Structure 1
Amino acid sequence: MIKKKSFKNLFEKNKSDILNNRINSIIVGKIIYIDKEFVIVYTDLKSESYVSVKEFYNKSGELNINLDDKFTFILENLDNGRGETIISREKAKILETWEKLKYFFKNNITIKGFIKNRVKGGLIIDLNDVEVNINSFLPGSLIGVNSSDKNLIDELEKTELEFKLIKIDKKNNNIILSRKAVLDINNRNERIKIINSLKVNNILLGVVKNITEYGAFLDLGKVDGLLHITDISWKRIKHPSDVLSINDKIKVKILKIDTDKLRIYLGLKQLYNNPWNKTNNKIYLGNKVLGITTNVVKYGCFIDIGNGMEGLIHNSEISWVNKNINPKNYFNINKKIISKIISIDNSFKRISMSIKKCKINPWKIFKKKYKIGDKICVKILFITEYGIFVKIYNYNIDAFIHINNLENIKNNVNLFIKNNVINNKLLTYVYKINYKKERIYLSIYKNFKIYDIKKIIESNKIIYAKIIKNNKNYTFIALNSKFLLKINTLKFKFKTNNKFIKFKIINYDKLNDKLYILIFKNDKNKRKNI
């Protein structure tokens, strides 16, 4: 008998422990009695439970319950001390509401509701698909319309709206909604349908709604398209606003459709003939064209040469003589300029123009009239530590006298100029000409190397030359009345009492203007370059 009682006590204790572990969990109960003030619920626990009838009213204040209806409850207390089991229908509804919201949020399911009232920064929404009134906030920026437009908000209050859950916070009883996200989804689906109905090369009428530095966005009717700056005009434009304005209505051609990103790329210039495909009598290599400057950049100037085509005048094609022209100081926008077409690149659609080639080339005239050793009068421009820059009279060409060609007077150049410049003219001699680089070098000496190097090398003769001057770094020698050479003697020194030098020319580096010689000294050959 004792054992049976012990087993029964143990069983009841174990059952009680199991039930106690279910405190604050959801249980299912059946309505067995309905009164005006309370409802009796059977839950298969120690006793039936009494639940206030108020907990069964829905959000609209209606009571829709019947006998034998089953509902969920939260088990609050197994025994309140009076043998009653305490359960709550209200708490179960709150828990189920949050679980439902969590499910909607996780699975991106939209939820419906009505605008309850307006507050600072947005609207309070009453959600339809939940049993408990949990205030949900819709920020003004996520309404999908202008929140300051009272009439629009009034219209929205009359209709059931659909929202997307942006944030749910059960701990702080906080729910954030977005109507804009739903509209975006709907718009996306509609855009997909519209874009799928369009085809490349379709011509549409669009309205310019926004202009940026890289192009313009057009409203094509429920979908937008991008008109890139390079597809606006066949000629070069600095900014789309040079051609387009907001609210302009224009026809455009569909160039490309990106179905993945739902983007439409448009073209305006493609509606017109490509000037590069047309035969234009004016656009031929060597033609002189009257154009209008459209844009000045650091490397030159762009000019409109008509028929939607542009050419570039590079800095190097502005002047024959001035190599350091700043285009921004030389050109003005919308000015007429005559230039010559010097290059047409059809593959890159580029035309190169030249102003200087419309004029006589002074270098060609100079080349025909002057040769090495000829006299020439110049005007001194400025003096530097490594030489004198001058301008050749009647040719407007700059030339240079290197310090090496001023050896005897380099320590007192200003005195030399004072004594030798007459009527602002200095008499010099042509020393070297580089027509490829358009450079002229002059000398104040009459006697310098004007010999035929090739003939001297082929003769293989030993040459005797008089030493004119001998200093730390160089030795100057005179072959005869016409030849004056300078030898680099940094690594090879002559005796100061030497009056003559014996050598043979073995090679001439024309590119660097250097002679390679063999010097005979004490019967030993020394290879030098001069």
Structure 2
Amino acid sequence: MSETAQMPSLDDFEALLNETMPADTGFEGQVVTGTVVSVESDFAIIDIGLKAEGRVPLKEFAMPGQTPEINVGDNVEVFVDRVENALGEAILSRDKARREEAWTDLEKAFEGDARVNGVIFGRVKGGFTVDLNGAVAFLPGSQVDIRPIRDVTPLMNIEQPFQILKMDRRRGNIVVSRRAILEEDRAGQRAELMGKLKEGDSVDGVVKNITDYGAFVDLGGIDGLLHVTDISWRRVNHPSEALTIGESIKVQVVRINPETQRISLGMKQLAEDPWAGIEAKYPVGAKFNGQVSNITDYGAFVELEAGVEGLVHVSEMSWVKKNVHPGKIVSTSQDVEVMVLEVDQSKRRISLGLKQCSENPWEAFEDKFPQGAEIEGEVKNITEFGLFIGLDGDVDGMVHLSDLDWERSGEDAIQDYKKGDMVKAVVLDVDTDKERISLGVKQLSGDPFSNVSTKKKGETVTVVVKEVTENGLEVEIGETGVAAFIRRVDLAKDRNDQRPERFAVGDKVDAMVTNMDKGSRKVNLSIKALEVAEEKAAVEQYGSADSGASLGDILGAALEKAKGE
């Protein structure tokens, strides 16, 4: 550099800078209107009136999911990030321009509580993102619909209205609700529909939700409850058996509560009531075929026709199976024959019998084994009051303790038996109404007491001493096998002879019958009474007490006369 060369001044540097970089136009950070000069590949070239043009991606000219419609010559608004970059291009953004414009419009809508249109275009944690014409808003999952929905896909990428719940421009936050729009629209529709509906109306609806107790039906802006008992005249255990979500159905308005605005619906009310004229259709005593529809602890329900069920009480299920759960006798969906026992149309009840359609084993037993017939069976059970014996027809008969033995007590006699023993018995009585059969074992042999019961008071019997006790004698009357007891005081007239030890087992002794109780099967005997009677007879025949003859003389003479005869 020569000495004469001069260094450029500060003004010269400023001039050079202005030649290479345009002066501040005031465009940066502003939304300006530009013209599309060309469309190349995925970009639109925009002229905003500066030396440098800018390019904007085509996707910024369309809503999410839509095809951009942009042509050369179109005027568009863009946001100027920078007037020029290192490549000499203006940095432009259609999205930011739309966002700035959208925020302004959204603030006005928020202040005026107005609806805004947007498009759900993405999923984020806790909800979804919504494009509000350039501004991105958050849609919480709870604000998508009135009721939770599993699949939001059909709602995405379509323009629809939203309500702004809150917004903060400084932070760039917007929260919107689709549910608020639906509820508002629904409230209007509900009010209009409630004004038109009246009880008894038949309306079309769509099954919206199903619960254990019924289904909610959308009547076009208002929901009604279709209770499970009003779906069909026939039994419906769960609404899902008859309905599906989304199904279109016709229902009748059963009841409207103006205070709660609740609507009760019915489907079965649109069909003929099968219980009309039920008594003529199902007369008492008639037999019908049906299907077991439900089983409970107290019986089984049998469907006679669609909407008509009758109850077979557990007591009417089997002649012989007692205290058995109905599920062990019949099964659900089983076809059975039943008899109508009772019909109550007012209470919509029919009592049915299952056992009446089979032979009554008690009547069959009575026909086969009348009173007095001998039978044989196995001891099924032993109780404190007798034996239960299994008989033909799967029925049981009972031998009461009192019918086990003629002479021994029932408590003693029952010790001879055990379960499983085969026992012979006589049919004493059959009560078909009470389903009881009375049997007797002792009746297999003749009643030994019958041979004694003919004896009258005052008659003399010969007995055999069976046991000598301190209080008297245990004796058996002749060979009848009937036992009796002679008390100590009745052993002799003479008090000194009233000693049991005077007698020995096997001795034969004459005694007088002093009492005969056929009811208790007891015979009272007395040797003393016999002696007194014999003495009296001798006195009457041979002398009197004051004749001077002794009793010994009289009895001696009587004995001598008896020998001579």
**TM-score, normalisation: structure 1:** 0.51
Equivalent-residue separation in structure 2 for 1:177 and 1:364 (angstroms): 82
Matches within 5 A, 1:168-187: 179-181=178-180, 183-187=182-186
Q: Contact 1:115 / 1:124 at 8 angstroms: preserved in 2?
A: no
Compared CA separation, residues 150 and 402, structure 1 to 2 (3 A): same
Matches within 5 A, 1:417-436: 421=422, 426-430=423-427
Q: Contact 1:304 / 1:311 at 8 angstroms: preserved in 2?
A: yes
Q: Contact 2:338 / 2:354 at 8 angstroms: preserved in 1?
A: yes
SS at match of 1:319: coil
Which letter maps to 1:267?
A: G
Corresponding position of 2:523: none
Percentage identity across aligned positions?
33
Deviation (angstroms), 1:235: 2.3
Q: Contact 1:136 / 1:177 at 8 angstroms: preserved in 2?
A: yes
SS at match of 2:412: coil
Deviation (angstroms), 1:286: 1.5
Equivalent-residue separation in structure 2 for 1:147 and 1:289 (angstroms): 48
Equivalent-residue separation in structure 2 for 1:256 and 1:388 (angstroms): 63
SS at match of 2:443: coil
Equivalent-residue separation in structure 2 for 1:202 and 1:219 (angstroms): 15
Compared CA separation, residues 279 and 316, structure 1 to 2 (3 A): closer
Q: Contact 2:379 / 2:420 at 8 angstroms: preserved in 1?
A: no
Deviation (angstroms), 1:336: 2.5
Q: Contact 2:319 / 2:360 at 8 angstroms: preserved in 1?
A: yes
Corresponding position of 2:346: 347
Deviation (angstroms), 1:150: 7.2
Equivalent-residue separation in structure 2 for 1:160 and 1:233 (angstroms): 40
Matches within 5 A, 1:67-82: none
Equivalent-residue separation in structure 1 for 2:289 and 2:218 (angstroms): 39
Corresponding position of 1:257: 256
Equivalent-residue separation in structure 1 for 2:118 and 2:274 (angstroms): 59
Which letter maps to 1:334?
A: S
Q: Contact 2:397 / 2:436 at 8 angstroms: preserved in 1?
A: yes
Deviation (angstroms), 1:285: 1.5
Q: Contact 1:209 / 1:219 at 8 angstroms: preserved in 2?
A: yes
- 1:397 corresponds to 2:398: no
Corresponding position of 1:444: 441
Larger Rg: 2
Compared CA separation, residues 214 and 203, structure 1 to 2 (3 A): same
**Residues 486-507 of structure 1: per-residue CA shift (max 9 Å, x gap):** xxxxxxxxxxx9xx9999999x
**Residues 298-333 of structure 1: per-residue CA shift (max 9 Å, x gap):** 322222212531111121112222223332222233
After superposing on structure 2, the runs of 4+ consecutive aligned residues of structure 1 that deviate more than 6 Å are 111-118, 123-127, 145-148, 173-177, 367-372, 431-434, 500-506
Compared CA separation, residues 360 and 111, structure 1 to 2 (3 A): same
Unmatched segments (≥5 aa) in structure 2:
1-29, 32-109, 405-409, 448-465, 467-475, 484-499, 501-512, 521-565
- 1:383 corresponds to 2:381: yes
Compared CA separation, residues 428 and 202, structure 1 to 2 (3 A): same
Deviation (angstroms), 1:385: 5.7
Which letter maps to 2:126?
A: G
Compared CA separation, residues 150 and 446, structure 1 to 2 (3 A): closer
Compared CA separation, residues 241 and 503, structure 1 to 2 (3 A): farther
Which letter maps to 1:306?
A: E
Compared CA separation, residues 269 and 110, structure 1 to 2 (3 A): same
Compared CA separation, residues 379 and 175, structure 1 to 2 (3 A): farther
Corresponding position of 1:121: 126
SS at match of 1:383: strand
Equivalent-residue separation in structure 2 for 1:190 and 1:136 (angstroms): 28
Unmatched segments (≥5 aa) in structure 1:
1-59, 62-103, 128-134, 451-467, 469-477, 485-496, 507-514, 516-530
Corresponding position of 1:408: 412
**Residues 108-151 of structure 1: per-residue CA shift (max 9 Å, x gap):** x9687788998643468999xxxxxxx99652322438798578
- 1:300 corresponds to 2:288: no
Equivalent-residue separation in structure 2 for 1:447 and 1:123 (angstroms): 95
Deviation (angstroms), 1:354: 0.8
Deviation (angstroms), 1:443: 4.2
Equivalent-residue separation in structure 1 for 2:378 and 2:334 (angstroms): 34
Which letter maps to 2:396?
A: D
Corresponding position of 1:22: none
Corresponding position of 1:519: none
Equivalent-residue separation in structure 1 for 2:189 and 2:376 (angstroms): 80
Equivalent-residue separation in structure 2 for 1:354 and 1:151 (angstroms): 57
Corresponding pairs, count = 344
Matches within 5 A, 1:86-485: 120-122=125-127, 139-144=140-145, 149=152, 152=155, 155=158, 161-164=162-165, 179-181=178-180, 183-278=182-277, 281-306=280-305, 308-364=307-363, 374-380=372-378, 382-384=380-382, 386=384, 387-393=386-392, 395-401=393-399, 406-414=410-418, 421=422, 426-430=423-427, 437-446=434-443
Equivalent-residue separation in structure 1 for 2:260 and 2:144 (angstroms): 25
Equivalent-residue separation in structure 2 for 1:338 and 1:188 (angstroms): 54
Compared CA separation, residues 234 and 501, structure 1 to 2 (3 A): farther
SS at match of 1:310: strand
Equivalent-residue separation in structure 2 for 1:181 and 1:505 (angstroms): 99
SS at match of 1:427: strand
Compared CA separation, residues 381 and 352, structure 1 to 2 (3 A): farther
Which letter maps to 2:375?
A: C
RMSD: 5.2
**Residues 170-213 of structure 1: per-residue CA shift (max 9 Å, x gap):** xxx99977553453244223212212211111111223333322
Q: Contact 2:300 / 2:312 at 8 angstroms: preserved in 1?
A: yes
**Residues 62-121 of structure 1: per-residue CA shift (max 9 Å, x gap):** xxxxxxxxxxxxxxxxxxxxxxxxxxxxxxxxxxxxxxxxxx9xxxx9687788998643
Which letter maps to 2:141?
A: G
Q: Contact 1:111 / 1:164 at 8 angstroms: preserved in 2?
A: no
Equivalent-residue separation in structure 1 for 2:154 and 2:201 (angstroms): 39
Deviation (angstroms), 1:353: 0.8
Equivalent-residue separation in structure 1 for 2:247 and 2:129 (angstroms): 40
Q: Contact 1:163 / 1:179 at 8 angstroms: preserved in 2?
A: no
SS at match of 2:145: coil
Q: Contact 2:233 / 2:306 at 8 angstroms: preserved in 1?
A: no
Compared CA separation, residues 151 and 234, structure 1 to 2 (3 A): closer
Which letter maps to 2:269?
A: Q
**TM-score, normalisation: structure 2:** 0.49
Equivalent-residue separation in structure 1 for 2:514 and 2:252 (angstroms): 83
Which letter maps to 2:331?
A: N
Q: Contact 1:290 / 1:336 at 8 angstroms: preserved in 2?
A: yes
Q: Contact 1:339 / 1:355 at 8 angstroms: preserved in 2?
A: yes
